[in-house]
Amino acid sequence: MTTTRRYGSLIVAALLLVVFVYALYEVQTWSTRSRLFATTITIPAIALALAQVAREARRLDVIRSVPVEAVVSRSAIAWFAGFFAGLWLIGLMYTIPLFSAAYLRFGAGEAWAKSAAYAAVASAFAYLLFIRFLHIPLPTGVLPLPAVAP
């Protein structure tokens, strides 16, 4: 079981405190009408965030288990980042087949044939449903590649 000390929770509480203090600072330049709601929530928010920071600081030695659903492997993060880097560079319609084939083959250990078939089906699905049928524009990349159009 993965365990962690409470530094992370303390950092989250401290970040929230910073956000609320910044919000209250920013609010001061607004008109009275605009300020009403913002002031009503940021002042108690700062007080509660301070209380939480103090509470977390007192319990730094407590070791707790990490929820199963929050355990993420480095390879998962790498593949995830790879997908969005591909989307930014070459656009979604090129990323989908490349990512599907590469991820299933090397990330999930599937056979080449299965991975390639999945990539073809996923691309056809995206093209037919989103481009041909729903006419939804899909993200294109920064690299000048030919556009996939109906």
Partner 1 sequence: MGPCAGLSSNAHDACSGRANGTTIRVRKRREGSIDVFLGSLISVLQWPTSGLLLLGVAIGFVVGILPGLGGAVTLALMLPFIYDMDPIPAFAFLLGMHAVVATTGDITSVLFGIPGEATTVATILDGHPMAQRGEAGRALGAVLFSSLVGAIIGAAVLALSVPVMRPLVLAFGPPEFLMLTVLGLTFIVALSSGNMLKGFLMALLGLVASMVGLDPFAGRPRFTFGQLYLWDGLNIVPVVIGLFAIAETLQLMTTRTSIAHTIGAAPITRVMEGVIDTFRHWWLTLRCSLIGVFIGIIPGMGGATAQFIAYAHAQQTSKHPEEFGKGSIEGVLAAGSVNNSKEGGSIIPTVAFGVPGSTSTAILLGAFLILGLVPGPDMLTKHLAVTFSMVWVIVLSNVVAVALSFVLLKQLVKLTFVKGTWLVPFLLLLVSIGAFTTHNDLLDIVVMLVFGAVGWAALRWDWPRAPFLLAFVLGHTAERYLFLSHQLYEWAWLGRPAVLALIALSLGGLVYSLKRRRYSAEVAPPGAAGVAA
Point out which residues bind partner 1 (CB under 8 A).
6, 8-9, 12-13, 16, 19-20, 23, 26, 30-31, 33-34, 36-38, 40-42, 44-45, 48-49, 51-52, 55, 64, 66-67, 69-73, 75-77, 79-80, 83-84, 87-88, 92, 96, 99-100, 103-104, 107-108, 110, 118-119, 122, 125-126, 130, 134, 136-139
Nearer to partner 1, 45 or 146 (CB): 45
CA distance 5 to 106: 34
Minimum gap (Å) between residue 95 Cβ and partner 1: 8
CA distance 59 to 42: 25
Minimum gap (Å) between residue 113 Cβ and partner 1: 14
Minimum gap (Å) between residue 96 Cβ and partner 1: 6
The encoded tokens of residue 35 equal: 């300020």
Nearer to partner 1, 72 or 146 (CB): 72
Residue 13, beta-bridge partner list: none
The encoded tokens of residue 55 equal: 């509470």
Phi, psi of 52 (to 5 degrees): -70, -40
DSSP code for 142:
S
Minimum gap (Å) between residue 86 Cβ and partner 1: 10
Minimum gap (Å) between residue 9 Cβ and partner 1: 4
DSSP code for 81:
H
CA distance 92 to 99: 10
CA distance 76 to 79: 5
